[in-house]
A and B are shown apart, each in its own frame.
Chain A
Amino acid sequence: MIPAIRIAGVTKRFRSLQALAGVDLEVAQGEFFGLLGPNGAGKTTLISSLAGLARPDSGTLEVMGHDVVKAYRQARLALGVVPQELVFDPFFSVREMLRLQSGYFGIRNNDDWIDEILHHLDLTSKAAANMRMLSGGMKRRALVAQALVHRPPVIVLDEPTAGVDVELRQGLWQFIRKLNQDGHTIVLTTHYLEEAETLCGRIAMLKAGKVVALDTTANLLQRFASHTLRVSLAGTVTLPPALAAKVLAMEGKALTLGFESFDEVADLLAGVRSAGGQVVDMALGKPDMEQVFVGIMNQN
């Protein structure tokens, strides 16, 4: 099957900044794919290159098998992009804007689908409102609606939940998940690592314009994260080397220790006690994407 997205050897330089330093990536059809990385890692440049908003210096990008430069019409028809910035055209109402966007993609009389999107994004009552009158969250949903007017098989969301409240975020994810279940390929960039962990089947991590990790979410968690035991102590302690090696973080009198199996917990606590530590509080933590992210970014 043709991959939904194929990126091969893509480089892009902005003056002295090497934004993309040879990116290779494939996203299969139907995947929910996460693209993570710190600010300036190249995520938005990569998405812009895919959407034709930026032109790579070398390499190729394809959407559903269509080269984004040579066959840009087909590639753009197959792609829906929700941009990171909260942009809107102040001249038009929500419905006008969606009709115009449909027309840009060559679709006339798209009102049935527009109504459906508005319904799913809880914007039906705002269809006639000018874009200026919408709250930030509504504008964000309107941007999602805009990306969907031409029913693209591949949808890219560039930090769609930045600055969005919890309720709206959950509503948005419910809808995006439904789209994914209906067969749409979803590519997501986000700084909320929990979101990526929960939603994405596979994740790529970018750093300084390079892919530094690419695997299924489960494998990444298994390889780079462990269960944690966080203990708060009454005073400071000096741990024996074997135990000190398991310390993931130390903040004041609180220690975070990593472990693989729950059988180890009793030994860890015993070790702390033997070293003279008096435990006043403790908490267990599951492996999470934040550990993976920090681990990988520090490794590279």
Chain B
Amino acid sequence: MEGFKTLLYKECLRFWKVGFQTVLSPVLTAVLYLLIFGHVLEDHVQPFPGVSYTAFLVPGLVMMTVLQNAFANSSSSLIQSKITGNIVFVLLPPISYREFYAAYVLAAVLRGGLCGVGVLLAAQPFAALPFAEPGWIIAFTLLGGAFLASLGVIAGIWADKFDQLAAFQNFLIMPLTMLSGVFYSIHSLPVFWQGVSHFNPFFFMIDGFRYGFFGVSDVSPWTSIGVVTVCFVTLALITLQMLGRGYKLRA
């Protein structure tokens, strides 16, 4: 356990030491989205009855920030360690691949959560949020964050250069998060695109998370939590299998 705890601590210390880049920057980005989209669309769109557009937008941005930063933490840490070669320092000690996985994922969830809290606090002056069912907020933060953190572990291990990781981030993670209902309710989409959205796990993460704030959502939170849980468990098993085999880490 000591190995796991130290690796977790090291991973947290790593992002904390560059907090401007890893925590404050994503918070600022999300706040800019909030200011711009909120200003433009506040008087034109009401996604749910009684919920203003800015209020609707805040949970979406919070969750988007959680997800993107959870992914960024595990993936960037691993690829940096691989490219600089210092990954050897965590491969030589008696740390099991399960401890390795748990430490990277948990640290990534913590960074995602910290960024999310930052966005939430920064958004307070712009919208009053009811926090209708906080249990769902926590559940989706943890599961969604862990899902993206696992994806980050896979990407960080798979990628051999920063360019490949950037491609993973920009061509997969970004579109899936942006097109997941952060900025709109999928009920405003044509039927076909509503159907397509149901194949995007990020949609369920955002929608379920938003339910925790307003008690209303596009689909039932139980459906969302089911989808997210299945996605996370599947990805976790794949990641553990990769780590267990030592894929691209142990020759």
A residues with CB within 8 A of B: 14, 45, 48, 51-55, 72-74, 76-77, 79, 81, 83, 85, 87-92, 96-97, 100-108, 146, 150
| A45, chain B: closest CB distance, angstroms | 8
B residues with CB within 8 A of A: 2-3, 5-7, 9-10, 13-14, 17-18, 81, 84-86, 88-96, 246, 250-251
**Cβ contacts under 8 Å, B84 to chain A:** 87-90
**Cβ contacts under 8 Å, B91 to chain A:** 52-53
| A25, chain B: closest CB distance, angstroms | 19
Across the interface, do A76 and B85 meet the contact criterion of CB distance under 8 Å?
no
Q: Which of A74, A83, A105, A106 contacts B88 (CB 8 A)?
A: A83
Across the interface, do B251 and A103 meet the contact criterion of CB distance under 8 Å?
no
Q: Which of A53, A83, A85 contacts B251 (CB 8 A)?
A: A53
Q: A77-B94, A103-B9, A104-B93 are in contact. Are A55 and B250 (CB under 8 A)?
A: yes
Across the interface, do B2 and A108 meet the contact criterion of CB distance under 8 Å?
yes
**Cβ contacts under 8 Å, A90 to chain B:** 84
**Cβ contacts under 8 Å, A74 to chain B:** 94
Of the A-B pairs whose beta carbons lie under 8 Å apart in the complex, a sample of 19, sorted by A's number, is: A48-B251, A52-B91, A55-B251, A72-B94, A76-B92, A76-B94, A83-B85, A85-B85, A91-B13, A91-B17, A96-B13, A103-B6, A103-B10, A104-B7, A104-B89, A104-B90, A105-B93, A106-B2, A106-B94
| B188, chain A: closest CB distance, angstroms | 44
Q: How far is the CA of A97 from the CA of B95 in the complex (A)?
A: 17
Across the interface, do A103 and B5 meet the contact criterion of CB distance under 8 Å?
yes
| B24, chain A: closest CB distance, angstroms | 17
Across the interface, do A105 and B94 meet the contact criterion of CB distance under 8 Å?
yes
**Cβ contacts under 8 Å, B18 to chain A:** 91
| B173, chain A: closest CB distance, angstroms | 24
| A50, chain B: closest CB distance, angstroms | 11
Across the interface, do A101 and B3 meet the contact criterion of CB distance under 8 Å?
no
Find the A residue at minimum CB distance from B81: A89
Q: How far is the CA of A65 from the CA of B96 in the complex (A)?
A: 20
Task: Taking A88-B86, A103-B7 as given, write out 17 further A-B residue pairs in contact, using a Cβ cutoff of 8 Å, ordered by the A residue number.
Answer: A48-B251, A53-B91, A53-B92, A72-B94, A73-B96, A76-B93, A85-B85, A87-B88, A89-B81, A89-B86, A100-B10, A100-B89, A101-B93, A104-B3, A104-B7, A104-B90, A146-B89
